[in-house]
Amino acid sequence: MPYDLIIRNGRIIDGSGIPAFRGDVAISGGRIVEIGRLSGEARRVLDADGRVVAPGIVDNHTHYDAQVTWDPLCTYSCYHGATTVVIGNCSLALAPAHAEDREPLAGVLSRVEAIPLEAIRAGVTWSWETIPQYMDALDRRLGVNVACLIGHSAVRRYVMGEASQERHATDDEVAAMKAIVREGLEAGAIGVSFERNFRHFDWNGRLAPTNVAADEEIFAVASVVDEVGRGVIQCGGDRDLGVRIATSSGRPVFYGNITQQAIAPNRWRERLAETESLQRQGYRAYQFVMPRPGDLRFTLKTAQHFDTMPTWRSVMMLPLEERKRAFRDPETRARLHVEAVETPPNPNLGGDFTRRWDLCFVHRPALPGHQDLKGKSVAQIAGEQGRDVLDVFLDLALEEDLETVFERREVNSDEAAMAALLTSPHMVIGQSDGGAHVVFRTDYSYSTYMLSHWVREKGIMSLEEAIRKLTFVPASLFGLYDRGLVRPGMAADLMVFDPETIGPLEPEEADDLPGGATRRKQLAQDIEWTVVNGEVLLEEGEHTGVYPGKVARSGSPAAAAAG
Ligand SMILES: [Zn+2]
């Protein structure tokens, strides 16, 4: 019998971390069947000479819950080699849902994760009530594999209705939630997610349901994964709660992410030490690190970055013409200077402006005559011109009618700190938030950024190690035991790419959301083929028209066979 597919002559990087080797990969029935120098026939042959054949990326923290129902490819993660995405994070999900829960669930997902509500309303065709029904509905048409976490906010809403955003649960309600979580896990959901973030509101200014829960409820609902003996726990927003869950559960617990921040330069070290210490004690406590630098772009038309400073806040609230007058007024400017240049930042004040004018760059000058300033920091320009930083900043913006696009590079921008985090065996690479914050962020390109910037350009780790961290590690931690390795018997999820040229392309704007809303689109170059369950999903970045994805259900193949 011929194989379904052979990928010939590739440099196989199998995801385990062992050195790359030359060979062919044969696939039949959606699984890898042989690896080596193979002579058998195949219905389709791909020549991967000069290319790397690696497991597909496991995009381990996304919010495609709504989008996947109208976009089974989960764009744009799939363009960066993702063959599996994890949805249902941060307590947010679209199942279970009574008919009357649909609008509230859409609203909270939209508000918390910055997904246009019109897109969810126009795009989602609700055809499920329970979690197993939702997974079955997805299973009918998927481009990539989707692994589902059970969202506590959705479960709480389903059990408690409006009261889910108002009060603690009764014992009976907690028992009902536990039963729903158990049913979801037994149907193959890969875990349960919570959030404790008192800034996560719906469009009516009410807290998302999970935030109203008492600790006892969260611990009770989380304990179902231990009872079932399968699944992970994700809990964002409150590290203390996350650590307490991690030290009371035997399951993997994802309790946050570590960022390097200019405002608190040593905080990442303390957070890394904490995770390391928990893991050394035997707890399965994990945090994510995002390889991409934060690129907060703003203009003085809409920026909220200065809101912690009183004069700035009141000036930024003024209508545009009055605001420009205020920026020109010497007295006001003197006060703005005291606040944004002379006063040191307060690291304990959430989101305080860092006063790091050396990390505030002119991203896109509006006037042709200012193009030489592009890419320079405000501090650098001030130095060159012998002027004050605030005068440089405000005068440039005023000359350009506040159209100048600035960029703050203060998060994940210190390369030494980032190299330490990314190479640490205690950190998990990811948390792309794919499908969320669609207007501003493109962190779903983290995989191609990792392979181009950190591996090829900076050489902080070998390609083999980077692939292991992007595939085998997350597949293992999330219980996806038949993915994340190029090995006979494993699902044939593969990416074939040119290691010399792979990388993310410049972001652009796309207006492809249902209802016409726009989002930020970033594609990648030189991923030749992306293979999902043995079928070529993307060829040179183009969808081939097939839908080979599956709901990736938890549990080992052996456990499934044992029934
Ligand atoms: Zn999230």
Q: What is the pLDDT of residues 374-396, one digit of tens each?
A: 999 999 999 999 999 999 999 99
Ligand 1 center–CA 380 separation, angstroms = 36
> Residue 526 Cα, ligand 1 centroid: separation in angstroms?
29
Residues within 5 Å of ion ligand 1, judged at the Cβ atom: 89-90
* Complete DSSP assignment for 45-94: EEE-TTSEEEEPEEE-SB--TTHHHH-TT-TTGGGGTEEEEEE-GGG--S
For ligand 1, the distance from its centroid to the CA atom of residue 136, given in whole angstroms, is 23
Structure tokens given for 34: 């042989």
* Ligand 1 centroid – CA 239 distance (Å): 14
pTM greater than 0.85 (yes/no): yes
What's the confidence (pLDDT) of residue 559? Answer: 54
Of 24, 28, 74, 67, whose CA–CA distance to 49 is shortest? 24
Q: For residue 211, how far is its CA from the centre of ligand 1 (angstroms)?
A: 14
Q: How far is the CA of 143 from the centre of ligand 1 (A)?
A: 22
Tell me, in angstroms, the distance from the centre of ligand 1 to residue 444's CA.
Answer: 12
Ligand 1 center from residue 89 Cα (angstroms): 5
> And the tokens for 515?
């209802």
Ligand 1 geometric centre to CA of 364 (Å): 30
63 Cα: distance to centroid of ligand 1 (angstroms): 6
Give the distance (Å) from ligand 1 centre to CA of residue 298: 23
For residue 175, the tally of other CB atoms under 10 A from its CB is 12
pLDDT of residue 558: 53
Q: How far is the CA of 236 from the centre of ligand 1 (A)?
A: 8
361 CA → ligand 1 middle, Å: 28
Edge-to-edge order in the sheet of strand 232-236? 57-59, 82-87, 145-151, 191-195, 232-236, 253-257, 285-289, 427-429
The confidence score (pLDDT) of residue 556 equals 56
Question: Could you tell me the distance, in angstroms and rounded to a whole number, from the CA of residue 109 to the centre of ligand 1?
Answer: 10
Neighbours of 416 (CB within 10 A): 9
Ligand 1 centroid to Cα of residue 441, in Å, is: 13
Q: Tell me how far the alpha carbon of residue 120 lies from the centroid of ligand 1, in angstroms.
A: 17
Q: How far is the CA of 123 from the centre of ligand 1 (A)?
A: 20
- Measured in angstroms, how far is the CA atom of residue 549 from the centroid of ligand 1? 22
Q: Give the pLDDT confidence score for residue 85 in this predicted structure.
A: 98
Residue 191 Cα to ligand 1 midpoint, Å, equals 14
What separation in Å is there between the alpha carbon of 428 and the centre of ligand 1?
A: 15
Closest CA to 475 of 563, 562, 556: 556
269: its two tokens: 């070290």
Q: 494 pairs with which residues across the strands?
A: 55, 531
CA distances from 28 to 172, 491, 530, 553 (A): 49, 10, 16, 20
**Cα of 497 from ligand 1 centre, angstroms:** 29
Distance 436 CA to ligand 1 centre (A): 8
Q: How far is the CA of 2 from the centre of ligand 1 (A)?
A: 43
Q: Which residues of 363-390 are buried (b: 16+ CB within 10 A; e: fewer)?
A: bbbbeeeeeebeebbbbbbbeeeeeebb
95 CA to centre of ligand 1 in angstroms: 16
- Backbone torsion region of residue 541, taken as left when φ is above 0, otherwise alpha when ψ lies between -120 and 50, otherwise beta: left
Instruction: Using the mean position of ligand 1's atoms as its centre, give its distance from the Cα of residue 402 in Å.
Output: 32
CA of 55 to the centre of ligand 1 (A): 24
pLDDT digits (tens, 9 = 90+) for 461-501: 999 999 999 999 999 999 999 999 999 999 999 999 999 99
Closest CA to 154 of 225, 94, 68: 94
Q: How far is the CA of 34 from the centre of ligand 1 (A)?
A: 38
Q: Chain centroid to CA 296: how far? A: 16
C-alpha 445 to ligand 1 mean position (Å): 16
Where the chain has pLDDT below 50, the residues are 563
What is the predicted pLDDT for the residue at 203?
Answer: 84
pLDDT recorded at residue 560: 53
Compute the distance between CA of residue 429 and CA of residue 344 in angstroms, rounded to an integer. 32
Q: How far is the CA of 138 from the centre of ligand 1 (A)?
A: 20
pLDDT of residue 563: 42
Spacing, Cα 343 to ligand 1 middle (Å): 34
Kindly give the distance from the C-alpha atom of residue 87 to the centroid of ligand 1, in angstroms, as a whole number.
9
Q: Tell me how far the alpha carbon of residue 90 lies from the centroid of ligand 1, in angstroms.
A: 5
CA 141 to ligand 1 center in whole angstroms: 24
- All residues at 6 or more sequence positions from 476 whose CB lies less than 8 Å from its CB, including other chains: 484
